[in-house]
Amino acid sequence: MRRSKEKDLRRIMSRRGFVLAGAAVTMTGFLGARLYYLQVAQTSRYQRLSDRNQFDVRVVPPARGRLFDHKMRLVAGNAESFELRITPLYARNLQDTLDLLASIVELPEARIESVIATAKALPSFREITVRDDLSQRELARLAVRSALLPGVSFGKSLRRIYPQGALTCHITGYVSPVTQREIENDKTLEILPTLGTGKTGVEYMFEPNLRGLPGREKIEVNATGRPIKVLSDVPPAPGNDLQLSVDIGVQLHASERLRQGRWEQVTFGSHEVQAALASDAELQAHLAVGDDMILRDGNGRLVPAESGAAVVMDIHTGEIISLVSAPMFDPNLFTGKLLNRDWRRLNEHPRRPLLNRVTSGLYAPGSTFKMVVGLAALEAGVISENTEFFCTGERELGDSIFHCWRKGGHGAMNIVSALEQSCDVYFYEIALKTGIQKIRDMALRLGLGTVTGVDLPGEKSGIIPSHEWKLANKGVVWTPGETVVAGIGQGYVLTTPMQLAVMTARIANGKDAVVPSLLSKPNGAVQNFAPLDISESALAVIRRGMSAVLYGGAGTANSYQLGKEYGGMAGKTGTVQVKRITLAQREKGITKNIDRPWAERDHALFVAYAPLKNPRYAISVVVEHGGSGSSTAAPVARDILAKTIAERGLT
């Protein structure tokens, strides 16, 4: 019995030993295979992970190219600022680290949530900018506590600044943080998600030139990701600087003169203004976007600064010397994180300060279009300089009567006197005889109805109608009455202030189809513009008419002549009705512009070139709802041209 039990015990022990031995062999084999996999098969991968714990490759953003004006005065540059950054890979707990940072420096909850959302979307080793506007005091507080902040770093960066502020906002545009859509369209931006990119203006148009190329630094880091030393670096290539053709002196004068219009400027700090601001929502809206010019109008009321556009260009080179769109805004608001309240103030402002009226504002050109009609008629042989029509004050056509602005008419008119006195009936006659197709062809040659090609985004082409245009856009045929209305620059005709300046420059130049540019051109540089291809004799007739507007006895702007010391100027007024005066308004005696609501008043336009002999500069001015082109826009243009000649000379 005892031997049988011993035999069974030995059998059980042998079986258990075999199982244990098998298990040991299996485990040893598994461990060996795992060690082989980790140490041999995955050598390269773990070497990279090891290097990443020891080394960090950081992208160094380039310095953005600067913008200067014609006299090398800074228009857009870069200022040093201090950044706070965090690398989620090295932060033990991202939420806890951000909460700790919020106890040291100002860090809103919304920004914390944004950083966490960004961290989830990006690789954990990618640095995230928490703030880019640290003060030196905040930087000191962070430095003292740096040992308690794993994964946190801080240092210098460059922030875009616009030292001229709102003065050049529609020229420079602005830079703001890169958007996800931009990253999708340009994968090179993925490595610099916090880089600022141009969104409007010159900043947008010349983005590739201004941006530069990023550099790289290989840095040895410790276990918490804190830099120990730089092992190697490839410095970034800064963006190219650009010299603009704009003259800040002229720009400042043009801005102030356009916004003042024909009214008296009131001291902003006066008790009267402060009392008005307390109750006038319109004045408050303008103050909210930084426009502190307050005017007293002809009825003694306090009103905001005028809105509109003014552009001055060199008729030979196409260089833009001044470009003003009012109201304006401060582009520095956009260089960091734009506050919601600032965006609402700009976006909901009743006069739309973000709109560049020079290139994107569409206006009926009114009587400034009469040069186009006159040139088309002269070129077509419909009239000569001496061809006369008698203005009775109205022109019948079918069942319609088209009136001249002067009741009773102007009497016998030729093309020069018709331009001088802006006789509507004369241009009704020649428009009908010339036809809308030839008028359109001339308008296109003078730069209307198409984008001018100036270095700004969002330029509108305007409308110069034709038979085909109306059929395609309105679904009905063109009528003779519409030719009559187009003959005085109204109806379907729409242009931009930039196009009107180009038109005037081409008339004054006479040879070249000048194209506007915001880039400064070297002295003596040859300009390769297409030929204008308009008869010099016809242009000479139109120029005599434009001169008579200022220096003729009945000229519509003869009260606003440019002084002899500046060589005089030639121009054309335009007054465009925005809304017809209603019967109810007439019965109440509300017929004057100043008595109507601002948005219902006529637009005031004026185009000109100077000096009379050997012209050099062209200008167009639009004062929105400013009333008369002769009394409002003409003196503005005159004063801006005088400043242009004083600053830039005539050579």
Q: What are the tens digits of pLDDT across the range 349-395?
A: 889 999 999 999 999 999 999 999 999 999 999 999 999 999 999 99
Query: In this structure, what token pair is assigned to residue 364?
Result: 């009926």
On the question of pLDDT at 40 being above 50, the answer is: yes
* Higher pLDDT pick, 208 / 178: 208
463 and 559 housed in the same domain: yes
- What DSSP line would sit under 336-392, residue for residue? S---HHHHHHHHT-TT-TTS-HHHH--B--GGGGHHHHHHHHHHHTS--TT--EEE-
Which among 355, 366, 651 is positioned nearest to 523, based on CA atoms?
651
- pLDDT of res. 247: 97
C-alpha of 314 from chain center: 21
Please tell me the least confidently modeled range out of 320-324, 461-465, 519-523: 519-523
pLDDT tens figures, 101-121: 888 888 888 888 888 888 888
Angle between helices 109-121 and 94-104 (to 10 degrees): 150
Contact in structure between 142 and 164 (CB atoms under 8 Å) = no
Q: Is residue 36 part of a domain?
A: no
Instruction: Give CA–CA dist 545/539, Å, rounded.
Output: 10
Least confident of 90-94, 444-448, 479-483, 584-588: 584-588
CA distance 62 to 445: 43
Q: Which residue has the higher pLDDT, 597 or 514?
A: 514
Residue 7: CB atoms within 10 Å: 10
Please report the pLDDT score of residue 49 as a whole number: 46
Q: SS in 3 state form for 513-563?
A: CCCCECECCCCCCCCCCCECCCCHHHHHHHHHHHHHHHHCCCCCCCCCCCC
What integer pLDDT is reported at residue 341 of this predicted model?
Answer: 86
Q: What is the DSSP letter of 241?
A: P
Pick from 53-57, 321-325, 340-344, 531-535: least confident: 53-57
Residue 189 has pLDDT above 90, yes or no: no
Q: Which of 142-146, 165-169, 183-187, 579-583 has the lowest mean pLDDT?
A: 579-583
Same structural domain, 233 and 310: no
Together in a domain, 480 and 620: yes
If we measure between CA atoms, which residue out of 140, 153, 133 comes closest to residue 82? 133
**What CATH number does residue 97 fall under?**
3.90.1310.10
Asked whether the predicted pLDDT for residue 129 surpasses 60, the reply is yes
Q: Do residue 223 and residue 320 come from a single domain?
A: no
Q: What is the predicted pLDDT for the residue at 581?
A: 62
Assess if residue 460 is contained within a domain: yes
The tally of CA atoms less than 13 A away on the side-chain side of residue 137 is 2
How many independent structural domains does the chain possess?
2
Residues 341 and 225 reside in one and the same domain: no
- Cα–Cα distance, 56 to 68 (Å, whole number): 37
Same-domain status, 625 and 492: yes
CA–CA gap between residue 409 and residue 553 (Å, rounded) = 17
User: What pairs with residue 494 in β-bridges?
Assistant: 463
Mean pLDDT for the stretch of residues 330-345: 86
Q: Is 614 helix (H, G, I), strand (E, B) or coil?
A: coil
Distance, in Å, from the CA atom of 82 to the CA atom of 28, rounded to the nearest integer, reads 56
Residue 232 predicted with pLDDT over 80:
no
Q: Check if the beta carbon of residue 606 is closer than 8 Å to that of residue 527.
A: no
The answer to whether 83 touches 132, Cβ cutoff 8 Å, is yes
Peptide bond into 150 cis (omega under 30): no
More confident position, 140 or 217: 140
Q: SS3 of 438, please?
A: helix
Residue partners of 382: CB distance under 8 A and separation at least 6: 430, 433, 434
Ramachandran region, residue 398 (left: φ > 0; alpha: ψ -120 to 50; beta: rest): left
The enclosing domain of 627 has a CATH number of 3.40.710.10
Same domain, 529 and 412: yes
Quick check: helix, strand or coil at residue 304? strand
Q: How many of the other CB atoms lie within 10 Å of CB of 245?
A: 23
Same domain, 313 and 231: no
Residue 633 lies in a domain: yes
67 phi-psi bin (left φ>0, alpha ψ -120 to 50, beta other): beta
- Residue 269 sits at φ, ψ, to 5 deg, of -85, 5
Cα distance between residue 292 and residue 295, in whole Å = 10
The two structure tokens encoding residue 487: 């003959």
Helix crossing, 136-144 with 94-104: angle to 10°?
Answer: 130
Could you tell me if 78 and 132 are in contact, meaning their C-beta atoms sit under 8 angstroms apart?
Answer: no
- The reply to whether 171 and 318 lie within a common domain is no
Higher pLDDT, 323 or 222: 323
CA distance 427 to 423: 7
What is the per-residue DSSP string for 386-400? T--EEE-SEEEETTE
* pLDDT tens, residue by residue, 264-282: 999 887 888 888 888 888 8
Q: Which three-class secondary structure string do you get for 60-98?
A: ECCCCCCEECCCCCEEEEEEEEEEEEECCCCCCCHHHHH
- Per-residue HEC secondary structure of 174-221 comes to CEEECCHHHHHHCHHHHHCCCCEEECCHHHHHCHHHHHCECEEEEEEE
**Predicted local confidence at residue 38, as pLDDT:** 61
Rg (CA), the chain: 35
> What is the 8-class DSSP label of residue 615?
-
Percent of the chain at pLDDT exceeding 70: 88
Are 212 and 313 part of one and the same domain? Answer: no
Indicate whether 321 and 466 sit together in one domain.
yes
| Domain end call among 221, 243, 265 | 243
Rounded Cα distance, 214 and 201, in Å: 23
User: 325: which residues sit within 8 A by CB, 6+ positions away?
Assistant: 170, 308, 309, 355, 356, 357, 358, 361
Judge whether 295 lies within some domain.
no
Q: Is the model's pLDDT at 641 over the cut of 90?
A: yes
Mean pLDDT of 605-623: 97
**The Cα angle at residue 412 between residues 410 and 418, in degrees rounded to 5:** 65
Residues with Cβ within 8 Å of residue 629, at least 6 apart in sequence:
366, 367, 368, 556, 557, 573, 574, 575, 604, 605, 606
Tell me: do 318 and 194 sit in the same domain: no
- Residue range(s) defining the domain that contains residue 85: 56-243
- Looking at residue 516, its pLDDT comes to 97
Task: Decide if pLDDT at 561 tops 80.
Answer: yes
Give the integer Cα–Cα distance in Å for 594 and 298. Answer: 7
Model confidence at 46: pLDDT above 90: no
Within-domain flag for 530: yes
Stretch among 170-184, 225-239, 490-504 having the lowest mean pLDDT: 225-239
Query: Does the residue 47 lie in any domain?
Result: no
Question: What average pLDDT does the chain have?
Answer: 88
More confident residue, 181 or 537: 537
Beta bridge partners of 227: 221
- Which of helix, strand or coil describes residue 225? coil
Inform me whether the pLDDT recorded for 225 exceeds 70.
no
- For residues 370 and 575, what is the distance between their CA atoms, to the nearest angstrom? 12
Structure tokens, 536 = 């010099």
pLDDT for res 199: 94
Has residue 48 got a pLDDT over 70?
A: no
Residue 287 maps to a domain: no
Residue 217 has pLDDT above 80, yes or no: no
Asked whether residue 524 is assigned to any structural domain, the reply reads: yes
